[in-house]
Amino acid sequence: MEDRIRVLIVDDQSMSRRLFELYVASSERYCLVDSIGSAIAADIYCRQIRVDLVLMDVLMAEGIDGLEAAERIKSVSPGTKIIIVTSMPEVSYLRRAREIGVESFWYKEASPEPILDIMDRTVAGESVYPDAAPVVMIGTARSTDFTDRELDILREMTTGASNAQIGDKLGLSGNTVRNYIVQLMTKTGFTTRTELAVKARVLGLVISGDETGSR
Protein backbone atom coordinates (compact mmCIF):
# COMPACT_ATOMS: atom_id res chain seq x y z
CA MET A 1 0.00 0.00 0.00
CA GLU A 2 2.89 2.34 0.78
CA ASP A 3 3.92 2.37 -2.87
CA ARG A 4 0.51 3.34 -4.02
CA ILE A 5 -0.60 6.94 -4.50
CA ARG A 6 -2.38 8.12 -1.38
CA VAL A 7 -5.62 9.93 -2.18
CA LEU A 8 -7.81 12.15 0.02
CA ILE A 9 -11.36 12.83 -1.17
CA VAL A 10 -13.05 16.06 -0.03
CA ASP A 11 -16.69 16.47 -1.05
CA ASP A 12 -19.67 17.40 1.09
CA GLN A 13 -21.97 15.13 -0.89
CA SER A 14 -21.90 11.51 0.24
CA MET A 15 -22.97 10.19 -3.18
CA SER A 16 -20.16 12.07 -4.90
CA ARG A 17 -17.65 10.86 -2.33
CA ARG A 18 -18.87 7.31 -2.83
CA LEU A 19 -18.36 7.53 -6.59
CA PHE A 20 -14.83 8.91 -6.20
CA GLU A 21 -14.06 6.21 -3.62
CA LEU A 22 -15.11 3.60 -6.16
CA TYR A 23 -12.86 5.11 -8.80
CA VAL A 24 -9.92 5.06 -6.36
CA ALA A 25 -10.73 1.49 -5.31
CA SER A 26 -11.00 0.34 -8.90
CA SER A 27 -7.39 1.22 -9.64
CA GLU A 28 -4.42 -0.59 -8.16
CA ARG A 29 -2.29 2.54 -8.44
CA TYR A 30 -4.27 4.39 -5.76
CA CYS A 31 -5.25 3.88 -2.17
CA LEU A 32 -7.69 5.92 -0.15
CA VAL A 33 -6.33 7.86 2.84
CA ASP A 34 -9.74 9.12 3.85
CA SER A 35 -12.90 10.53 2.40
CA ILE A 36 -14.14 13.62 4.25
CA GLY A 37 -17.20 15.83 3.95
CA SER A 38 -15.78 19.22 4.80
CA ALA A 39 -12.91 21.18 3.29
CA ILE A 40 -12.03 22.76 6.62
CA ALA A 41 -10.33 19.60 7.93
CA ALA A 42 -8.43 18.79 4.71
CA ASP A 43 -5.20 20.64 5.58
CA ILE A 44 -5.03 18.83 8.96
CA TYR A 45 -4.83 15.49 7.11
CA CYS A 46 -2.23 16.80 4.68
CA ARG A 47 -0.11 18.21 7.50
CA GLN A 48 -0.26 15.12 9.70
CA ILE A 49 0.11 12.30 7.17
CA ARG A 50 1.37 11.77 3.64
CA VAL A 51 -1.27 12.69 1.08
CA ASP A 52 -0.18 12.55 -2.56
CA LEU A 53 -3.37 13.60 -4.27
CA VAL A 54 -6.53 15.42 -3.18
CA LEU A 55 -9.81 15.33 -5.10
CA MET A 56 -11.46 18.54 -3.92
CA ASP A 57 -15.01 19.79 -4.53
CA VAL A 58 -15.43 23.59 -4.44
CA LEU A 59 -18.87 24.39 -3.12
CA MET A 60 -19.19 23.18 0.46
CA ALA A 61 -22.17 23.41 2.74
CA GLU A 62 -20.18 24.81 5.65
CA GLY A 63 -16.73 25.99 6.68
CA ILE A 64 -14.47 27.08 3.85
CA ASP A 65 -14.75 26.44 0.13
CA GLY A 66 -12.59 23.93 -1.69
CA LEU A 67 -10.33 26.56 -3.26
CA GLU A 68 -9.54 28.14 0.11
CA ALA A 69 -8.80 24.66 1.46
CA ALA A 70 -6.54 24.00 -1.55
CA GLU A 71 -4.61 27.16 -0.74
CA ARG A 72 -4.12 26.04 2.86
CA ILE A 73 -2.98 22.58 1.72
CA LYS A 74 -0.47 24.13 -0.66
CA SER A 75 0.99 26.17 2.23
CA VAL A 76 1.33 23.23 4.65
CA SER A 77 2.11 20.47 2.15
CA PRO A 78 3.35 21.89 -1.15
CA GLY A 79 4.08 18.42 -2.53
CA THR A 80 0.45 17.33 -2.38
CA LYS A 81 -1.18 17.49 -5.81
CA ILE A 82 -4.74 18.72 -6.02
CA ILE A 83 -7.52 18.17 -8.55
CA ILE A 84 -10.50 20.51 -8.24
CA VAL A 85 -13.76 18.75 -9.14
CA THR A 86 -16.88 20.81 -9.60
CA SER A 87 -20.16 20.91 -11.46
CA MET A 88 -20.37 24.72 -11.39
CA PRO A 89 -19.55 26.70 -14.56
CA GLU A 90 -18.40 29.69 -12.45
CA VAL A 91 -15.47 31.08 -14.49
CA SER A 92 -13.63 32.56 -11.54
CA TYR A 93 -13.02 29.05 -10.15
CA LEU A 94 -10.64 28.27 -13.02
CA ARG A 95 -8.72 31.51 -12.52
CA ARG A 96 -8.51 31.14 -8.74
CA ALA A 97 -7.39 27.51 -9.05
CA ARG A 98 -4.51 28.51 -11.33
CA GLU A 99 -3.52 31.36 -9.01
CA ILE A 100 -3.40 29.02 -6.01
CA GLY A 101 -1.27 26.52 -7.91
CA VAL A 102 -3.82 23.71 -8.12
CA GLU A 103 -2.49 21.09 -10.55
CA SER A 104 -5.68 20.06 -12.36
CA PHE A 105 -9.32 20.96 -12.78
CA TRP A 106 -12.16 18.64 -13.76
CA TYR A 107 -15.81 19.43 -14.47
CA LYS A 108 -17.98 16.67 -13.04
CA GLU A 109 -20.45 16.66 -15.91
CA ALA A 110 -18.80 18.52 -18.76
CA SER A 111 -15.22 17.19 -18.91
CA PRO A 112 -14.88 14.51 -21.60
CA GLU A 113 -11.96 12.68 -19.96
CA PRO A 114 -12.64 10.15 -17.17
CA ILE A 115 -11.45 11.31 -13.72
CA LEU A 116 -9.01 8.39 -13.44
CA ASP A 117 -7.29 9.63 -16.58
CA ILE A 118 -6.95 13.11 -15.08
CA MET A 119 -5.62 11.58 -11.84
CA ASP A 120 -2.99 9.56 -13.74
CA ARG A 121 -1.84 12.54 -15.76
CA THR A 122 -1.74 14.81 -12.71
CA VAL A 123 0.33 12.33 -10.71
CA ALA A 124 2.66 12.01 -13.74
CA GLY A 125 3.36 15.75 -13.38
CA GLU A 126 0.96 17.12 -15.95
CA SER A 127 -1.35 20.02 -15.24
CA VAL A 128 -4.74 19.35 -16.82
CA TYR A 129 -7.11 22.25 -17.16
CA PRO A 130 -10.13 22.58 -19.45
CA ASP A 131 -9.75 25.37 -22.03
CA ALA A 132 -12.71 27.21 -20.60
CA ALA A 133 -15.62 26.84 -18.24
CA PRO A 134 -18.65 25.08 -19.76
CA VAL A 135 -20.74 27.53 -21.79
CA VAL A 136 -24.25 28.07 -20.49
CA MET A 137 -27.07 30.17 -21.92
CA ILE A 138 -28.50 32.85 -19.67
CA GLY A 139 -31.51 34.51 -21.27
CA THR A 140 -30.44 35.49 -24.78
CA ALA A 141 -26.71 35.59 -23.92
CA ARG A 142 -24.00 32.97 -23.74
CA SER A 143 -21.86 32.90 -20.62
CA THR A 144 -18.86 33.80 -22.81
CA ASP A 145 -20.52 37.06 -23.89
CA PHE A 146 -19.76 38.75 -20.56
CA THR A 147 -16.66 40.69 -19.60
CA ASP A 148 -14.84 39.89 -16.35
CA ARG A 149 -16.15 43.11 -14.83
CA GLU A 150 -19.74 42.26 -15.79
CA LEU A 151 -19.34 38.85 -14.16
CA ASP A 152 -17.93 40.52 -11.00
CA ILE A 153 -21.03 42.72 -10.81
CA LEU A 154 -23.36 39.80 -11.53
CA ARG A 155 -21.65 37.76 -8.79
CA GLU A 156 -22.29 40.48 -6.22
CA MET A 157 -25.88 40.90 -7.46
CA THR A 158 -26.63 37.30 -6.51
CA THR A 159 -25.93 38.13 -2.86
CA GLY A 160 -28.75 40.67 -2.89
CA ALA A 161 -26.32 43.59 -2.46
CA SER A 162 -27.43 47.13 -3.40
CA ASN A 163 -25.66 49.12 -6.13
CA ALA A 164 -23.83 51.13 -3.47
CA GLN A 165 -22.66 47.97 -1.67
CA ILE A 166 -21.48 46.43 -4.95
CA GLY A 167 -19.70 49.70 -5.78
CA ASP A 168 -17.96 49.77 -2.39
CA LYS A 169 -16.77 46.21 -2.77
CA LEU A 170 -15.47 46.61 -6.32
CA GLY A 171 -14.25 50.20 -6.02
CA LEU A 172 -16.83 51.62 -8.44
CA SER A 173 -19.42 54.36 -8.13
CA GLY A 174 -23.10 53.47 -7.72
CA ASN A 175 -23.82 54.97 -11.15
CA THR A 176 -21.16 52.86 -12.86
CA VAL A 177 -22.60 49.75 -11.24
CA ARG A 178 -26.06 50.73 -12.47
CA ASN A 179 -24.73 51.16 -16.02
CA TYR A 180 -23.15 47.70 -15.91
CA ILE A 181 -26.42 46.20 -14.69
CA VAL A 182 -28.30 47.89 -17.54
CA GLN A 183 -25.75 46.36 -19.97
CA LEU A 184 -26.20 42.93 -18.41
CA MET A 185 -29.97 43.17 -18.72
CA THR A 186 -29.70 44.32 -22.34
CA LYS A 187 -27.43 41.37 -23.18
CA THR A 188 -29.59 38.77 -21.46
CA GLY A 189 -33.00 40.26 -22.25
CA PHE A 190 -34.16 40.05 -18.63
CA THR A 191 -36.43 42.85 -17.48
CA THR A 192 -35.63 42.83 -13.77
CA ARG A 193 -32.36 42.54 -11.93
CA THR A 194 -33.80 39.97 -9.55
CA GLU A 195 -34.71 37.70 -12.46
CA LEU A 196 -31.18 38.06 -13.85
CA ALA A 197 -29.52 37.40 -10.49
CA VAL A 198 -31.67 34.36 -9.76
CA LYS A 199 -31.01 32.83 -13.17
CA ALA A 200 -27.26 33.45 -12.92
CA ARG A 201 -27.18 31.80 -9.51
CA VAL A 202 -29.31 28.82 -10.56
CA LEU A 203 -26.98 28.14 -13.48
CA GLY A 204 -23.93 28.42 -11.23
CA LEU A 205 -22.53 30.98 -13.68
CA VAL A 206 -21.47 33.15 -10.77
CA ILE A 207 -21.17 32.07 -7.14
CA SER A 208 -20.24 34.58 -4.49
CA GLY A 209 -17.41 33.59 -2.16
CA ASP A 210 -19.54 34.94 0.69
CA GLU A 211 -21.98 32.10 0.29
CA THR A 212 -19.80 29.22 1.36
CA GLY A 213 -19.60 29.28 5.08
CA SER A 214 -22.43 31.70 5.56
CA ARG A 215 -24.76 28.91 6.35
Partner 1 sequence: MTLLEFAATGPGTLFVLLLGLLVLAQLYLVLISLELEERRRATASRAMLFLAEALVFSTASASLHRVLENGQPPQLPLGAALIAAPVWAYALAAALVLLWEVWDVLRLRQLRRTGLSSLSVKESLDLLPAGIAFAREDGTPMLVNLRMEAVCRAILGTPLRDAEALWRRAVMQRLPESSEAEPVLRYGQGQVVAFRRTKLAGMDPPCVQILALDRTEEYAMSRELTARNEALRALGERMSAYGRMVDELTREREILEAKIAVHDGVGQALLAARAYINDPERHDAETVLELWRGVNALLSGTAEPAGSGEDAFRNLTEAAAAFGVEIRLEGDLPERGPGRECLITALHECITNTLRHAHGSVLWVRLEREAGETVAAFSNNGVSPEGPVRETGGLALLRQRTEAIGGTMTVESEPEFRLILRVPGTAETRGEEKDGR
Do residues 46 and 69 make contact, with C-beta atoms less than 8 angstroms apart? no
Residues of 145-160 as b/e, b for ≥16 C-beta within 10 angstroms?
ebeeebbbbbbbbbbe
Interacting positions 41-60 with partner 1 (CB under 8 A): 41, 43-45, 47-49, 59-60
Q: Does 192 bind partner 1 (CB under 8 A)?
A: no
Q: Give the DSSP letter of residue 5.
A: E
**From candidates 24, 55, 123, 161, binder to partner 1 by CB under 8 A:** 161
CB of 183 to partner 1, least distance (A): 20
Q: Which residues contact 48 (CB under 8 A, 6 or more apart)?
A: none
Can you tell me the distance from the alpha carbon of 41 to that of 51, in angstroms, rounded to the nearest whole number?
13
Q: Does 136 bind partner 1 (CB under 8 A)?
A: no
Q: Does 38 bind partner 1 (CB under 8 A)?
A: yes
Could you tell me which stretch among 116-124, 126-134, 153-161, 169-177 binds partner 1 (CB under 8 A)? 153-161
Residue closer to partner 1 (CB basis): 44 or 182: 44
Q: Which helix (H) or strand (E) holds 115?
A: helix 115-123
Q: Which residues contact 59 (CB under 8 A, 6 or more apart)?
A: 12, 65, 66, 86, 88, 207, 212
Lay out the site mask for partner 1 across 111-130 (x = CB under 8 A, - = otherwise).
--------------------
Do residues 80 and 132 make contact, with C-beta atoms less than 8 angstroms apart? no
φ, ψ (nearest 5 deg) of residue 138: -125, 110
Count, residues near partner 1 per rule CB under 8 A: 49
Do residues 12 and 61 make contact, with C-beta atoms less than 8 angstroms apart? yes
CB of 181 to partner 1, least distance (A): 14
**From candidates 127, 162, 173, 175, binder to partner 1 by CB under 8 A:** 162
Could you tell me which stretch among 61-69, 98-106, 121-129, 132-140 binds partner 1 (CB under 8 A)? 61-69
Q: Does 63 bind partner 1 (CB under 8 A)?
A: yes
Note the residues at the interface with partner 1 (CB under 8 A). 11-19, 21-22, 25, 34, 36-38, 40-41, 43-45, 47-49, 59-63, 87-88, 108-109, 158-162, 194, 197-198, 201-202, 204, 208, 211, 213-215
